[in-house]
Chains A and B, each alone.
Chain A
Amino acid sequence: MIIDLHRFIAAERPCWTELEKMVGRLEAEPNATLDLENIQRFHELYERTSAGLAKLTTFSSEPATRRYLENLVARAYGEIHETRDKRRRIFPLKWFTKTFPQTFRRRIRVFYLSLAITLAGSAFGGGATAFDPESRHITMPFGHDQLRPSERVKQEETRKTDRLAGHRTSFSASLMTHNIQVSIFTLALGITCGIGTILMLFYNGIALGAIAVDYVADGQTSFLLGWLMPHGVIEIPAILIAGQAGLLLASGIIGWGKRMSLARRLREVSPDVVNLSFGFALLLVWAGLVEAFLSQYHEPVVPYEAKIVFGTVELIWLVLFLGKSGRR
């Protein structure tokens, strides 16, 4: 019980001010560390201020002081009880070569699920094209249903002019941004308990399967590989990683077999979701460059064999990178 409130506030205010300064410094310099003496002082001030707040809570005449103390205790509480890493410095190279592939491997099962959903979609799309050719008008995106593969190959190979001349870089930029947006959307749909992510992956699989079967059935396998492999071996895994991130988020929401609160489950998966999202964004930047500057050029400008070799090298690099990079 406080007998003399004014005297109490006057006596405690220096401690509050000192705590406020310490919290302010910790907030402004997150990389700063306190020595043992300062840690003890910080803790003492926090406990004393908390006790002051407890005393003032039921006291009606100092609402402003109470709000001030609540705010101060809340800030100090966040600093004292936080156990997660508080580094603010980012090391991009270390993150790319270690953190990202390590995160990918740690959540590899979710990636396999993402892959399985896409393969199921591909099988469905391929099957639909094989058994019901008319379905191409529904399953194939970007106007691919308007032209038989052999007709398109003939057009591309006899083209005299470079249709991307003068806007190759901007085409590349729009591919990058579009693919990253779609991938982020795939990730974000994980919040629907993964249903939206599954639909996106399945739909992508349908389009991929339908186009692949269409070209193979029309005898244009070399063209297909030469056209898709240079960028596709990076772009498709990147979209699968976006699906992985979305399904990971969904696993945090659903929490099968985990005896943890929703907040704790999401707190656990959130860093990995973010690492994967930056990872797929970077991969899509590369894929966008390759698609605009190489994939859209066909024989006789660039031999299909060269493009296939290029795509194979990229694929081997990606597998080694995601599988081995950052291993201790």
Chain B
Amino acid sequence: MKTSSLLIRTPEGIIFSQLLAGPVTRFLAWLIDSLCIGVLLNVLGTLLRVLDLLSLNISLAAITVGYFVINTGYGIFCEWAWRGQTIGKKLLGLRVVDAEGMRMQFNQIVTRNLLRFVDMLPAFYLVGGAACWFSRRCQRLGDVAANTIVIRTAAVTEPNLDQLAPGKFNSLRHYPHLAARLRQRVSPGEAATALHALLRRDQFEPAARIELFRELAVHFRLKVAFPAEAMESIPDEQYIHNVVDVIYRM
């Protein structure tokens, strides 16, 4: 089954995840890289025109070799120099890493780049894209051969809690021991769901909004039972707001 993240379990029993990059993002990174290669080839062509003064033959030979080296070596050089990133990958927050979490070796970089010759067949990376699409770890053939994956490295930003109207009265805060228990019992996924529901609340249809927050409130009320006076006359949306406030703003 296809997953969006790869879990790696260390011998110490610790599990960490790597967010896998999808085929579309990778294709966009490739488009940027193609543009960079195009610019490099243009610059090289212009610079080597100087050799025309010396010999047209030598100039043509230098351009032929230069084009080949840039086309083949761009990925190898960039990924080696920037630890798994090309310009396109840098811009889109992607990075090539070893599929088992180890340090990436030079031979892995070369292997995945040489396999591009097959991945790019018949045009526009159709083979590589199809392989990536069907692969559980979103690997093109070069990644399979080199045992590498492409992950997303975009910096994780803190949620913008100011959008949640800070400073509002929160009845749950009167019960710090229950608030602490709530923080323990709510999983990161549940917390994120509640937070995103609040951040996007204005985008929902009124009926859907009421229904969504009702379901969320029922779910979170089962986590920790607050006294009745803390819950009195609080609508579901306000309750979820209070829960998120307790979880994220300690």
Q: Taking beta carbons and an 8 Å cutoff, which residues of A are in contact with B?
A: 1, 3, 5-6, 27, 47, 50-51, 53-54, 57-61, 63-64, 66-68, 70, 73-74, 77-79, 81-82, 84, 86, 88, 166-170, 172-174, 176-177, 180-181, 184-185, 187-192, 196, 249, 252-253, 262-263, 266-267, 270-271, 273-275, 277
Contacts and interface: CB of A to CB of B under 8 A. Distances in A.
B4 interface: no
Nearest to A52: B14
Contacts of B105: 84, 86, 270-271
**Cβ-closest 4 pairs across A and B:** A60-B191, A170-B60, A173-B61, A67-B156
Interface string B143-168: 01111000000001110000000000
Contacts of A77: 8, 10, 16, 101-102
Contacts of A57: 15, 188
A70 B16 contact: yes
A6 B156 contact: no
A204 B239 CA distance: 74
B191 A81 contact: no
B34 to A, nearest CB: 18
B21 to A, nearest CB: 15
A81 B114 contact: no
B183 A5 contact: yes
Interface string B106-139: 1110110011111000000000000000000000
A47 to B, nearest CB: 7
A176 B102 CA distance: 36
B232 interface: no
Given A86-B105, A169-B58, A270-B146, 16 more contacts: A50-B14, A51-B14, A58-B188, A60-B247, A77-B16, A78-B102, A81-B102, A170-B58, A170-B61, A173-B64, A196-B118, A252-B145, A266-B145, A270-B108, A270-B145, A274-B110
A320 B139 CA distance: 41
8 contacts: A53-B16, A60-B247, A88-B106, A168-B57, A169-B60, A177-B68, A185-B117, A249-B145
Contacts of B108: 270
A79 B98 CA distance: 12
Contacts of B15: 57
B147 A181 contact: no
B1 interface: no
A66 B114 CA distance: 36
Contacts of B158: 64
A94 B102 CA distance: 27
Contact of B11 (A81, A88, A275): A81
A172 B27 CA distance: 35
A110 B61 CA distance: 34
Contacts of A274: 106-107, 110-111, 114
A60 B187 contact: yes
Provide the main secondary structure of the chain B interface: helix
A184 B247 contact: no
B247 A266 contact: no
Interface string B44-81: 00000000000111101110110110001000000000
B201 interface: no
Interface string B4-43: 0000101111111110000000000000000000000000
Contact of A189 (B16, B18, B118): B118
Nearest to A46: B12
A47 B12 contact: yes
B103 interface: yes
B156 A185 contact: no
Contacts of B183: 5, 59-61
Nearest to A271: B107
Residue from the set B18, B56, B68, B157 with the largest chain A CB neighbour count within 10 Å: B68
A81 to B, nearest CB: 6
B211 interface: no
Interface string B87-110: 000000000011111110111101
A17 B67 CA distance: 44
A181 B68 contact: yes
A61 B64 contact: no
B83 interface: yes
A170 B64 contact: yes
A66 B188 contact: yes
